[in-house]
Structure 1
Amino acid sequence: MTGRTTLFLCVFATVATLTGVRAAIDVKAWLGEEPLTPERILEEMVEYFSQRDPHGIPVLKVPEPIEAPDRVTASQITLWDLKISGHSGLRLEYINVNLTTFTGVVRISVPKINVLGQYEWPGWWSTSAGSANITVTDIQVALNLQLGINTKGLLIVDGLQITLNYEDLILGFEGLAGEHALLVGAADTFFSTIIQPLIVGGIQDKLTKVLNERLEQRLKDKPFPNSISPVDYLVAKVRRDLRESGKDPIFVERKDVNLAWGVSVQLKNINIKGLTTLHRTHEVSAQFIDNALFVTIQIGTQQLKAGADWSISASLMPAVGGHLDVEVESLSVTVMAKQPADIRSPPVLREIDIQLGNLAVRSVGESTMDYLVELMVNLLPNTFRNIIMDKIEPKIHQAIQKQFNGLDIHRIILTKLAERRQAEANASP
């Protein structure tokens, strides 16, 4: 199953624990008749997030209400013949993952959970028994995750904390004995002494175990070093790939620019060095808000060097030229992008911000034109580089968004799934 589907299942387990239900529920009956393939999960999730207000548990066909006839025990209370409703209103409100510190927060809401059934509650002097009607309104569940790297280099859940808040807890028990009536009358006390310990004490350990099993299964062949953060490790891998693929220096094709009054500028033999100094400058984060994924990436380089042969020509004037060497003190780029949860829609580049350090230009040559070009290029860009970048950024933004518009994320994922299935088929004896 996908991570988001697993998350919804874990939340449902939390809600089930809230009501004290630990009966064995046949989840397989909720899967439907078709096999639960990655392709089916993808299509179900796409359909789920195509709604204006996605709610409920996707992929699974969860009935409303859920019937749990088995006898279950919550603290001293035994319940049976239970009918649980309200889970169809479950909503994924917010996810925030900091990929630098490897921490995450997940928030889910459920407008109301109602449990109907029979109960038995033994006491010191008498036993309470009869019908039960439990309603919890405006439930807010927060999961705080801390990820880490174990000694084997595997990504693990190093800490998990669940916080549960609610607006109102309405408890209706027929046939309550006096000693139990006092406890039920103090709903907050009932919550803190009976329900909250069940959630915090049981579901956290169980959920940690399930998530770590899934992580080990998915990433057992992709260990990380435990000396640096996984994000910095991935950036280091990009630097290595740039070196191994011969992209430092990188060579750019010839550029011809036509200016006013018949003046044309030609740049050729353009090369850029220093891309392998790429590094993370600030935090890298991802947030899921209002059914869209927002990603912020902040990266930069150290000193960049570039060189090019230049020539300027104009009508009725002889062509002049030379060679320029440019050094850029630093380059930093902040990219903020949005991907709708309905992945049939393309990503959107929300913002791109480019910051250039000081520039130094040296012209190889001793002619008056060389000195003039060197003076102009050194003076003007350093004086007006922020203004120049403000003018250039919209064009870069437009070019990147044009590439984004051509992306079919839905089709790309389906293709990758088909390739993986084919690879698995080829690998099997």
Structure 2
Amino acid sequence: MMDWIRIQCLVFVLNVCVRTGNLQEAPPNIRNQNLEAEKKLSEYVNVIIEHYKQTEPVGIPGAPIPDPLSIPPMNQSFSIGRMNFKDVELYGLKKFKIDHVVADVAAMKVEAALVIDKLDIVGNYTLNTWFSSAKGNFTVKLTHVFIKAMATLEVQRNGSLEAQAIDMDITFKEMAMDFKGLGFFASMFQGVVNSVGSFMFDSIKPFILSEANSNVRNDINKQVSKLPQKFPNSISPFDELVAEARKKVRALGYDPFKIADYNNSVGVFDVYLMHTWLYGLSSFHRTKDIVFEIRNNTVHALLEVGTQKLLGTTHWEISLITELLTRVGTASFSVEYIGVQINASQAMDTRKPPSLDDIQLELGNIQMRFDGLGTADYLIEFGVNVLPNLIRYQIMDAIERPIKLKIQEELDKINVEEFIRTNSEKLDDPNALADLSNFL
């Protein structure tokens, strides 16, 4: 679980790195701010931490988003004339709020949705018809703007990561327009003017998406290229981390795993299971997509792993409660799989601690082979029908509660804000990323 928190913090820090990249269209003052941020990334991380302590954070401090964004000149022809637009600028791109972000870590895909309360398009126009003309400034207000983007990373043949084309779209709910200088033509050309807003949005939209796609992709690749690790293109980088975690489980002596002794009463029988060993816990692997989701300024993580077929052995003792009859023996068993699903969350306000929201443990079918039951039919039937369920309870008791306690114990130890601040200082060292494995 500590690794999950560290990965989450690393994603946060790398996200900061990406956002300090330069947009080609950014004005000089924004570029200068970005250069300063690259010189001292730890200071920028601190700014981000403070930003997300707000109740409703808007935008991201220092984000290289030009505001206003200059739009190239446009023109539109009508049956009765022509309109030209120049000095057009778009205001409000920086004032976005995060609606949601869903990151599939294993598949290296991210879907993000942003909302902007209002975008203003301002500029100058000229209207020329066969019998008159008009000119002036104009304003188009778009409200309830929704921006959705899907981005992916892929492993290249040389083992490096590279961002692919970003699929983006922009929509809005309402539009209001105000054209100055139309005079008495306002009512005459009302139908023309009404179509201008849609034309303008349809014209500006490809320009914004193209600029964002190209520049954001370049910024991501610029930052990802700094990672010293090379990844195999046969498995995802996250699955490679899982493979390393399997080695650590074996190194720590958790495979084979000794399960605590267990006793229970079933009807008139007392049952004891002792010296139970489970083999194969280190065979765990990702069984579903690893998903990080940001909603309501909280990061939610869903992690699900499962093992391959497990084998085990146990010593058993069955006796009547009156102890008039006792049987002992050994048994070997197999567990089809063990699956663990973990739901955890962390508020973007790093003053709040991480939380284990839920954990589910699932055991597959258990089959047993007995030795020592004797020839008594009722004992054979008892062993075949009851002992597999008792083994299931024994394994659940031995694994589920300790996992919950261990995860919560690790979460209670973590001061997320301090952890991020401490490790962000490594980004000021040009050689800091050379030992990414120690960071994880």
Alpha-carbon distance in structure 2 between the residues aligned to 1:264 and 1:419: 56
Deviations along 1:167-194, whole A, 9 cap, x unmatched? 2233333346989986542145323542
Distance 2:48 2:110 in 1: 22
Alignment match of 1:349 (pick from 353, 356, 366): 356
1:158 is matched with which residue?
164
C-alpha deviations, 1:341-368, integer Å up to 9, x for none? 1223222222222111222345665789
Cα distance in 2, alignment partners of residues 164 and 91 from structure 1: 14
Whether contact under 8 Å (2:68, 2:92) holds in the other structure is no
Q: Deviations over 1:251-294 (max 9, x none)?
A: 448668799xxx996845x5432123212222221111111111
Structural mapping, 1:74-89, within 5 Å: 74-76=73-75, 77-79=85-87, 86=92, 89=95
8 Å CA contact retained: 2:125, 2:138: no
Q: CA deviation at 1:328?
A: 1.5
Output one character per residue of 1:296-355: Cα deviation in whole Å (capped at 9) or x when no partner: 112111121234567899xx99x9976554422211111121121122322222222211
Q: Which moved more, 1:196-205 or 1:234-243?
A: 234-243
Paired position in structure 2 for 1:209: 218
Q: Relative to structure 2, which stretch is displaced further, 85-94 or 382-391? A: 382-391
Which position in structure 1 is the counterpart of 2:60? 57
Task: For 1:24, give the aligned amino acid.
Answer: P
Letter in 2 for 1:138: H
* Match of residue 401, structure 1, among 386, 408, 411: 408
2:81 maps to which residue? none
Tell me the distance in 1 between the aligned counterparts of 2:196 and 2:20: 28
2:204 aligns with: 195
Corresponding position of 2:72: 73
Structure with greater contact order relative to length (CA < 8 Å, sep ≥ 6): 2
CA shift, 1:110, in A, is 0.7
TM-score with structure 2 setting the length: 0.72
What's the secondary structure of 1:360's corresponding residue?
Answer: strand
Identify the residue that residue 424 of structure 2 maps to in structure 1. Answer: 417
CA distance in 2, matches of 1:78, 1:343: 45
Provide the C-alpha distance between the structure 1 equivalents of 2:389 and 2:212, rounded to a whole number of angstroms: 60
Alignment of 1:228-377 (within 5 A): 228-243=235-250, 245=251, 247=253, 249-252=255-258, 267-268=274-275, 271-307=277-313, 325-362=332-369
Matched residues in 2 for 1:380 and 1:256: separation?
Answer: 14
- Alignment of 1:140 onto 2:138: no
- For residues 124-155 of structure 1, what are the alpha-carbon distances to aligned partners after superposition, in whole Å with 9 as ceiling and x for unaligned? 97986433323221111111223322222222
CA gap 1:99/1:207 in 2 versus in 1, 3 angstroms:
same
Amino acid at match of 2:282: T
Q: Which stretch of structure 1 is more off in the superposition, 139-148 or 393-402?
A: 393-402
Q: How far, CA to CA, are the matches of 1:32 and 1:229 in structure 2?
A: 32
How much has 1:111 moved relative to structure 2? Answer: 0.5
Q: 1:370-424 CA distances to partner (integer Å, 9 max, x unpaired)?
A: x96x976653354578888898898457523343223222222333334666794
Change (3 A) 1:297 1:253: closer
Contact 1:280 1:299 in 2 (8 A): yes
Question: CA contact under 8 A between 2:361 and 2:400: conserved in structure 1?
Answer: no
Distance 1:214 1:108, change over 3 A: same
Two-structure CA RMSD over aligned residues (Å): 4.9
Q: How big is each residue's C-alpha offset from its partner over 1:54-101, in whole Å with a ceiling of 9 and x where there is no partner?
A: 2233356999xx678xx8634353217x6x754574201101122343
Q: Which runs of 5+ in 1 are unaligned?
A: none
- Contact persistence 1:271–1:308 (CA under 8 A): yes
Question: SS at the partner of 2:99?
Answer: strand
% same residue: 21
Task: Using the TM superposition, name which of 410-419 and 293-302 deviates more.
Answer: 410-419
Q: Secondary structure at the match of 1:26?
A: helix
Q: Name the CA distance, whole Å, in 2 between partners of 1:198 and 1:365.
A: 79
Distance 1:226 1:122, change over 3 A: farther
Find the aligned partners of 2:346 and 2:411 in 1 and give their Cα distance. 10
Is contact 1:130–1:174 with CA below 8 Å preserved after alignment?
yes
- Cα distance in 1 for partners of 2:18, 2:427 equals 23
Change (3 A) 1:307 1:394: closer
Q: Does the 8 A contact of 1:32 with 1:60 survive in 2?
A: no
The one-letter code sitting in structure 2 at the alignment partner of 1:334 is Q
Partner in structure 2 of residue 168 of structure 1: 174
